[in-house]
Amino acid sequence: MPDPIRVCFVCLGNICRSPTAEAIMAHRLGFDDLGVHVEVESAGTGDWHVGHPPDERARGEAARRGVPMAGVARQFTADDFGRFDLVLAMDADNREALRALAPSPEAAAKVHLLREFDPQAHGNHDVPDPYFGVSEGFAEMFDMVDRSVAGLIAHIGSTRPTG
């Protein structure tokens, strides 16, 4: 069996978008044979919410969709590049922050935008941060992340060796 692919989703504070992506991916992988080959976590580029649970609005939206969400926020560090094969930023600002933190060009090459895997992105690859918006923003964010995660799982499944 090949080594698992290790994925980290990253947003600004690790309380809305990235824990939503982590929860959706873990939930989807629970229903897919690929799950045994993928490990998933999330983190933030900032430290404001370290140790806090996901935003209650994100948890509420996930619960409405039947997706369990747990965990606490943590900050992504340069050492994390050695732990993860794929680092998926929620927007261009976080992508650039991650690339600036990368200890090498090889590490920076691990950083991509999650919506690169969203068939409905149409060139707009940012997942908007719903934190300061209205509750409906969490539903829209969830839909974007869900489509993107489905595309990511399909991509991983099509590129991972089996056996």
Report the distance separating Cα 79 and Cα 116, nearest Å. 25
User: What is the pLDDT, as a whole number, of residue 135?
Assistant: 76
Report residue 47 as tokens: 């430290």
User: Does a structural domain hold residue 163?
Assistant: no
User: What is the pLDDT, as a whole number, of residue 133?
Assistant: 81
Q: What is the mean pLDDT of each run of 10 residues along the chain (163 residues)?
A: 90 97 95 77 96 96 96 98 98 98 98 97 94 87 97 88 54
Report the distance separating Cα 11 and Cα 45, nearest Å. 6
User: Does a structural domain hold residue 160?
Assistant: no
Nearest one of 42, 24, 39 to 149, comparing CA atoms: 24
User: Does a structural domain hold residue 35?
Assistant: yes
User: Does a structural domain hold residue 39?
Assistant: yes
Element housing 146 (H / E): helix 136-159
Give the position of tokens 């969830």. 142
Q: Which residues are catalytic?
A: 11, 17, 129
Residue 112 is part of a domain; what is its CATH number?
A: 3.40.50.2300
Q: How many structural domains compose the chain?
A: 1
Range of the domain at 148: 9-154
pTM for the whole structure: 0.94
CA angle 85, 114, 145 (to 5 degrees): 125
User: What is the pLDDT, as a whole number, of residue 27?
Assistant: 95
User: Does a structural domain hold residue 4?
Assistant: no
